Structure 1
Amino acid sequence: MRPILLQGHERSLTQIKFNREGDLLFTCSKDQIINVWYTYNGERLGTYEGNNGSVWTVDVDKDSKYMVSGAADNTMRLWQVETGKCLYTWEFPTAVKRVAFSEDDKQVVCITEQRMGHQCAIRVFNINREEGAKQSKEPAHFFNPIGSKATVCAFTNIPNVIVTGHESGKVAQFNVKTGEEIDNNERAHGDTITDLQMSKDRTYFITSSKDKSSRIHDTKSLMVIKTYTTETPLNSAALAPNKPYVLLGGGQDAMSVTTTSLRQGKFETRFWHKVFEEEVGRVKGHFGPINTLAVHPGGIGYASGGEDGFVRMHHFDETYFRAKPYGDYDIED
């Protein structure tokens, strides 16, 4: 697998996201810009400029009409994908760490950081899809999660319910209308949850954590279904559609990178069998921890963004589709 190397960022990557068709890849980083790329040849299609701080998070709707981003300049912005225009900016007291569209793309949830006397807050905004520049300044729903601060979130397949991952390692469900915690699993992880990605039908989701493990949870009960344990802190985890694999990425934190060799640093994308919880392969390449992973929605490839400022886009070889390490198991999504 020869990767396409995307060089469009000067600082470490924070999140990458495919659109629904998988023909575009959106990447954001600490250098204040968001790039969009063609996935088949790695050509840069455009850049979204306007943020005054690290861009922590990005999400795109199903039609690739609007993109939403959250940044360290305490703003969440709505962009027109086609023109690169910033249509609307929401301002908050603290940085925006995570944004996500709802399943019908009519709402956006965002997490703002706990800092300078402000509590961690979760806000849900209704999006005016007809006129992008005319958005409501006030959130439709607003609440402060109790206890440990939330780091990641996503809408579930249950109306008005979001699932969150927290600094303490717990996962929880919240009703966005009332702000109440419906259910939680305090012991989902032993340390900060760094990523949360939903399955295609949103009935289960995968999390990665600094406790060196990744887990699949049932959306409804929050029970842990599968656990993948590694020997390095994980920054991201993704589910491969149509194949029984999960992809994990991480490596030690950036501070201790200079003291370890590439081999020890474990800066590889690791493939684990979803059902048997065994590692089946690794892909090397990055010169630092992998911060974010995304799998092509068609299952034909994946992309990884690293601390080194590079995005590596891989198209799977034919052998990936033929390989059956555990016999004739077909996965249907």
Structure 2
Amino acid sequence: MDQKRKLAVPLVCHGHSRPVVDLFYSPVTPDGFFLISASKDSSPMLRNGETGDWIGTFEGHKGAVWSCCLDTNALRAASGSADFSAKLWDALTGDELHSFEHKHIVRACAFSVDTHMLLTGGVEKVLRIFDLNRPDAPPREVDNSPGSIRTVAWLHSDQTILSSCTDIGGVRLWDVRSGKIVQTLETKSPVTSAEVSQDGRYITTADGSSVKFWDANHFGLVRTCDMPCNVESASLEPKHGNKFIAGGEDMWIRLFDFHSGEEIACNKGHHGPVHCVRFSPGGESYASGSEDGTIRIWQTVSHDDGEAVQANGSSAKVKVTVDEVTRKIDGFNLSKDKKIDEKEEATDL
């Protein structure tokens, strides 16, 4: 119980006018690390990943944004939307670099590790791979998904693609060269969240009221943890792999011990179901996005005596100076005080 008392009050990030449905942290870059959020308000937002401070808003989608990501260097962002498009953005200026048109809602997008490709999936049941060096070229299409695509990810140094479906259980692993499914990780319920661990060892999935961990190389089920409610998202602590978080319909974000499955902490504060949870790249903090339109950044209890944990939930060695953040956001040309009230309501599909 002592650990629960140590948990700091979260940083609350306002700005979205509709539910927050996806979150993505960049790796640590020379300018620190960054957090991008997708919302049904049609406007993805970029923040300082350590402080939660708003950097800019990507303006251009005309429907709910379901998915967002940053490339390895946090220089470009991508987003997938109900307006039948995926967009590529300059994360330094906020400019739209390219819009990739689809025939239906785009639910998921992911940059390849080498940052040269963008993967998308959605209601069309088609995986598309766009070459970012030739953005006008037709994408490569892999079109045997058994259902509407909910999540996508790359693994095995961009040789394998992972996808899950909105309406049927399981995670499918596709060989990029052949375009064929090489393995299916079986689950009873549809997988609403699938994350490849930072070291490439584990795939963390949330389905129904369980969180599962799979061996990302041999595809065996490593561990199943039953949750007290239906969970929509789960994330494994990236540095030591000894904790994980889960959030879902009961509005709480729970922190668990990976090995024992024991609950370490239960964080309350959101006023609606939690749609997404993600650990920061160093594991010092984690973010949650909710139906209530807010993002909350929580400090992780640190067991490392030699590591100073700041009040804002960051470890001293990845402290981002004001100058560095200014260098990153200088020139981001989007207006912070846009009148959200005057915007047309985003398509909520």
TM-score range, shorter chain: 0.7 to 0.9
Report the counterpart of residue 259 of structure 1 in structure 2. Answer: none
Q: Judge conservation of contact 1:205–1:217 (CA < 8 Å) in 2.
A: yes
- Whichever residue aligns with residue 92 of structure 1, its letter is H
The counterpart of 2:212, out of the listed 200, 212, 215, is 215
Once the two structures are TM-superposed, the CA of residue 203 in structure 1 deviates from its matched residue by: 2.5
1:124 matches 2:129? yes
Report the counterpart of residue 153 of structure 1 in structure 2. Answer: 152
- Whichever residue aligns with residue 208 of structure 1, its letter is A
Once the two structures are TM-superposed, the CA of residue 317 in structure 1 deviates from its matched residue by: 5.0
Once the two structures are TM-superposed, the CA of residue 268 in structure 1 deviates from its matched residue by: 0.9
Report the counterpart of residue 168 of structure 1 in structure 2. Answer: 168
The counterpart of 1:229, out of the listed 226, 231, 236, is 226
Report the counterpart of residue 204 of structure 2 in structure 1. Answer: 206
Q: Judge conservation of contact 2:199–2:238 (CA < 8 Å) in 1.
A: no
**Deviation string, structure 1 residues 201-240 (Cα, Å, up to 9, x no partner):** 223210111x211101112332211111113111111011
- How many pairs does the alignment contain? 293
- Whichever residue aligns with residue 282 of structure 1, its letter is C
The counterpart of 2:27, out of the listed 17, 20, 26, is 20
1:32 matches 2:39? no
Once the two structures are TM-superposed, the CA of residue 241 in structure 1 deviates from its matched residue by: 2.1
Cα root mean square deviation, aligned: 1.6
Once the two structures are TM-superposed, the CA of residue 277 in structure 1 deviates from its matched residue by: 2.2
- Whichever residue aligns with residue 180 of structure 1, its letter is K
Q: Judge conservation of contact 1:150–1:165 (CA < 8 Å) in 2.
A: yes
Q: Distance in 2 between matches of 1:299 and 1:89?
A: 33
Q: Classify 1:95/1:146 alpha carbon distance in 2 versus 1 (closer, same or farther; 3 Å).
A: closer
What aligned pairs does 1:175-194 form with structure 2 within 5 A after superposition?
Answer: 175-185=175-185, 187=186, 189-194=187-192
Report the counterpart of residue 327 of structure 2 in structure 1. Answer: none
TM-score computed with the length of structure 1 as normaliser: 0.84
Report the counterpart of residue 340 of structure 2 in structure 1. Answer: none
The counterpart of 1:95, out of the listed 91, 105, 108, is 105
The counterpart of 1:282, out of the listed 266, 275, 292, is 266
SS across alignment from 1:308: coil
Report the counterpart of residue 142 of structure 1 in structure 2. Answer: 141
1:2 matches 2:9? yes
Once the two structures are TM-superposed, the CA of residue 26 in structure 1 deviates from its matched residue by: 0.8
Once the two structures are TM-superposed, the CA of residue 24 in structure 1 deviates from its matched residue by: 1.7
Q: Distance in 2 between matches of 1:95 and 1:147?
A: 16
- Whichever residue aligns with residue 264 of structure 2, its letter is V
SS across alignment from 2:287: strand
Deviating 4+ runs (over 4 angstroms): none
Bigger Cα displacement from structure 2, 168-177 vs 29-38: 168-177
- Whichever residue aligns with residue 238 of structure 1, its letter is S
1:247 matches 2:245? yes
Q: Judge conservation of contact 2:108–2:149 (CA < 8 Å) in 1.
A: no
Q: Distance in 2 between matches of 1:317 and 1:105?
A: 33
Q: Distance in 2 between matches of 1:237 and 1:63?
A: 24
Q: Judge conservation of contact 2:20–2:294 (CA < 8 Å) in 1.
A: yes
| Structure 2 residue runs without a partner (length 5+) | 1-7, 306-349
Q: Judge conservation of contact 1:238–1:247 (CA < 8 Å) in 2.
A: yes
Q: Judge conservation of contact 2:109–2:119 (CA < 8 Å) in 1.
A: yes
Q: Distance in 2 between matches of 1:145 and 1:321?
A: 47
Q: Share of identical aligned residues, percent?
A: 26
What aligned pairs does 1:34-73 form with structure 2 within 5 A after superposition?
Answer: 34-73=44-83
Once the two structures are TM-superposed, the CA of residue 147 in structure 1 deviates from its matched residue by: 2.6
Q: Classify 1:295/1:284 alpha carbon distance in 2 versus 1 (closer, same or farther; 3 Å).
A: same
Q: Judge conservation of contact 1:171–1:222 (CA < 8 Å) in 2.
A: no
Q: Judge conservation of contact 2:131–2:137 (CA < 8 Å) in 1.
A: no
Once the two structures are TM-superposed, the CA of residue 18 in structure 1 deviates from its matched residue by: 1.3
Q: Distance in 1 between matches of 2:109 and 2:264?
A: 32
- Whichever residue aligns with residue 27 of structure 2, its letter is R
- Whichever residue aligns with residue 222 of structure 1, its letter is F
Q: Judge conservation of contact 1:226–1:277 (CA < 8 Å) in 2.
A: no
Q: Distance in 2 between matches of 1:227 and 1:299?
A: 22
Once the two structures are TM-superposed, the CA of residue 276 in structure 1 deviates from its matched residue by: 1.8
**Deviation string, structure 1 residues 288-317 (Cα, Å, up to 9, x no partner):** 111011111011101100010010112335
Q: Judge conservation of contact 2:49–2:280 (CA < 8 Å) in 1.
A: no
Report the counterpart of residue 273 of structure 1 in structure 2. Answer: 257
SS across alignment from 2:188: coil
Q: Distance in 2 between matches of 1:241 and 1:92?
A: 33
Q: Judge conservation of contact 2:231–2:248 (CA < 8 Å) in 1.
A: yes
| Structure 1 residue runs without a partner (length 5+) | 115-119, 129-133, 252-265, 323-333
Once the two structures are TM-superposed, the CA of residue 321 in structure 1 deviates from its matched residue by: 4.5
Q: Judge conservation of contact 2:210–2:231 (CA < 8 Å) in 1.
A: yes
Q: Distance in 2 between matches of 1:69 and 1:137?
A: 19
Q: Distance in 2 between matches of 1:95 and 1:49?
A: 18
Q: Classify 1:241/1:220 alpha carbon distance in 2 versus 1 (closer, same or farther; 3 Å).
A: closer
